[in-house]
Amino acid sequence: MKHQNGARCLRCEEKLKEANPEIVSFFYWLKPRYQKIHISWTFRDQANQDQCFMRGTSKLKWPNSPHNATDLMGKADSHAIDLFVLDDDKALWPIETFKAIAKDVRDNKIPMIWGGDFIHLGDFDHFQMV
């Protein structure tokens, strides 16, 4: 299943099945405003988190990332979302788009933390629950 631009993307909706309801609500608030925005990550299992840590794209080991959150039953319940822009079937990570989203989040008092505000990582495509 491929990502598709527009008001709905079935691939993104699949990824949201492993996200906390607050992340789901955030994405459904965001998607109509930025129809080319898509999800690269919600939940990361141990293998994927370990790989991200080894590559340096995460400063946190398993299970300490908000991407690794589970509910009381042990089911995936990610407290974070990583995004990208799909343009002409190419995945892009334009900092200006993420800055605009972060501004919209602040202006609308959405309870999310933007990864671009992280001092040591500059994780511009990352948003997580407060």
Confidence category of residue 72, pLDDT binned at 50, 70, 90? very high
User: Looking at the DSSP assignment, which residues form a beta bridge with residue 126?
Assistant: 82
On the question of pLDDT at 84 being above 90, the answer is yes
On the question of pLDDT at 111 being above 80, the answer is yes
The DSSP H or E segment spanning 24 is: helix 21-30
pTM: 0.95
Tell me how far apart the alpha carbons of residues 82 and 84 are, in angstroms, rounded to a whole number: 7
Indicate the SS3 state at residue 34: coil
According to DSSP, residue 48 is labeled H
Angle formed at CA 95 by CA 42 and CA 48, multiple of 5 degrees: 30
Indicate the SS3 state at residue 45: coil
Which domains, and CATH codes, for the chain?
Answer: 10-44+70-129 (3.30.1380.10)
The DSSP H or E segment spanning 12 is: helix 10-16
